C-alpha cells in the first residue's frame, strides 16, 4: 500500500492518484512495469494498446499540470513521468520485455552472464567452427590475400549463425506465447518456461557476439583494402 502525503489515505501500489483526494501519489517502491501501465504480465503485447496507455499516463503525469502544485506533487509528477518512460521503453522491445519479466519473477538477469567464457552447449559447434575460420581469415588478411575472397568467406561463415539467430527469434516467440497461455498453470510449469526463456536469451546474447565478431572482421578487411589503395596511390 501507498500512503497519500496529502490526506494520509491508503492507496493500492498500482494507483497513480489518491482514491480519497485525487492528488498524485509519490511513486514509492514499484518495480513492475506491467502493472504500472495497467497491463497483464504477458509477453505478447499489443503495441497500439501499449502506446495508448503510455500517452494517456504521459498527459496525466505531465509536470506542466503540477506547475502550481505543492513541491511533493511536483516531485511525484516528475518521478512518475520518468518511471513511465522507462516502463514504455522496456516493454516496447520484446527482448527487454522478457528480461523485465524474468527480473520481476525473481530469476537472475540473462545479461549477468554476458562476457563469461562459458559457451552455451547448444552453440559449441558453431562457436568452434567460427573461431577457427576467423583465425584463418585473419592470417590470410595479414599476408595480403585478396579482400574479395576473404569477404566471400566471411559471408559464408555468417550464414549459419544468422540462421541460428532466426531460429532463436522463433523460439522466443513460441516461448512467449506459451508463458501467456500458462496463467493458471502450476508453478513448476511456469518456472520451466521462464528458465527456458532465460537460456534462450543467454544464447541470443552469444549469437549476437558471434555476429559482431564477423562484422569486426569485415570492417578490418575493408580497412586493409582502403589502406592498400592509398599505399598504391602514394607509390
The 10 Å Cβ neighbour count of residue 206 is: 22
The CA distance from 233 to 25, in Å, is: 69
The number of beta carbons lying within 10 Å of the beta carbon of residue 142 is: 10
- What pLDDT, on a 0 to 100 scale, did the predictor assign at position 116? 53
- Judge whether residue 43 has pLDDT over 80: yes
Average pLDDT over residues 17-43: 91
Model pTM score: 0.83
Q: Give the other-Cβ count within 10 Å of 234's Cβ.
A: 6
Question: What number is the average pLDDT over the span 69-79?
Answer: 93
Q: Does the pLDDT of residue 135 top 80, yes or no?
A: yes
> pLDDT category, 194, cuts 50, 70, 90?
very high
Which of 3-7, 47-51, 69-73, 216-220: highest mean pLDDT? 47-51
2-92: CATH number:
1.10.287.110
Q: How confident is the model at residue 224 (pLDDT cuts 50, 70, 90)?
A: confident
Distance CA 133, CA 127 (A): 10
Tell me, what's the pLDDT at 228? Answer: 57
Grid coordinates representing 168 are 532463436
Domain boundaries, the chain: 2-92, 121-234
How far is residue 3's CA from residue 21's CA, in Å, rounded to a whole number? 12
How many Cα atoms within 13 Å fall on the side-chain side of residue 105? Answer: 23
Q: What is the pLDDT of residue 112?
A: 53
Residues 178-189 have pLDDT tens digits of 999 999 999 999
pLDDT score of 14: 85
pLDDT of residue 105: 94
% pLDDT > 70, the chain: 92
Amino acid at each position: 500500500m501507498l500512503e497519500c502525503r496529502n490526506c494520509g489515505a491508503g492507496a493500492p501500489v498500482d494507483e497513480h492518484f489518491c482514491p480519497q483526494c485525487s492528488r498524485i501519489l509519490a511513486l514509492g517502491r514499484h518495480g513492475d512495469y506491467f502493472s504500472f501501465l495497467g497491463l497483464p504480465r504477458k509477453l505478447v503485447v499489443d503495441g497500439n494498446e501499449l502506446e495508448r496507455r503510455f500517452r494517456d499516463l504521459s498527459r496525466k503525469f505531465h509536470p506542466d499540470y503540477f506547475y502550481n502544485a505543492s513541491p511533493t506533487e511536483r516531485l511525484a509528477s516528475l518521478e512518475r513521468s520518468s518511471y513511465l518512460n522507462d516502463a514504455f521503453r522496456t516493454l516496447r522491445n520484446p527482448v527487454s520485455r522478457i528480461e523485465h519479466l524474468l527480473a520481476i519473477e525473481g530469476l537472475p538477469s540473462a545479461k549477468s552472464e554476458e562476457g563469461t567464457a562459458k559457451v552455451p552447449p547448444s552453440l559449441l559447434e558453431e562457436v568452434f567452427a567460427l573461431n577457427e575460420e576467423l583465425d584463418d581469415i585473419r592470417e590470410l588478411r595479414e599476408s595480403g590475400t585478396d579482400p574479395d575472397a576473404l569477404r566471400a568467406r566471411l559471408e559464408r561463415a555468417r550464414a549459419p549463425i544468422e540462421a541460428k539467430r532466426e531460429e532463436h527469434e522463433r523460439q522466443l516467440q513460441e516461448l512467449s506465447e506459451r508463458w501467456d497461455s500458462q496463467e493458471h498453470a502450476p508453478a513448476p510449469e511456469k518456472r520451466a518456461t521462464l528458465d527456458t526463456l532465460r537460456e534462450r536469451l543467454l544464447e541470443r546474447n552469444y549469437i549476437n557476439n558471434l555476429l559482431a565478431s564477423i562484422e569486426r572482421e569485415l570492417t578490418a578487411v575493408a580497412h586493409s583494402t582502403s589502406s592498400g589503395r592509398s599505399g598504391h596511390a602514394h607509390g
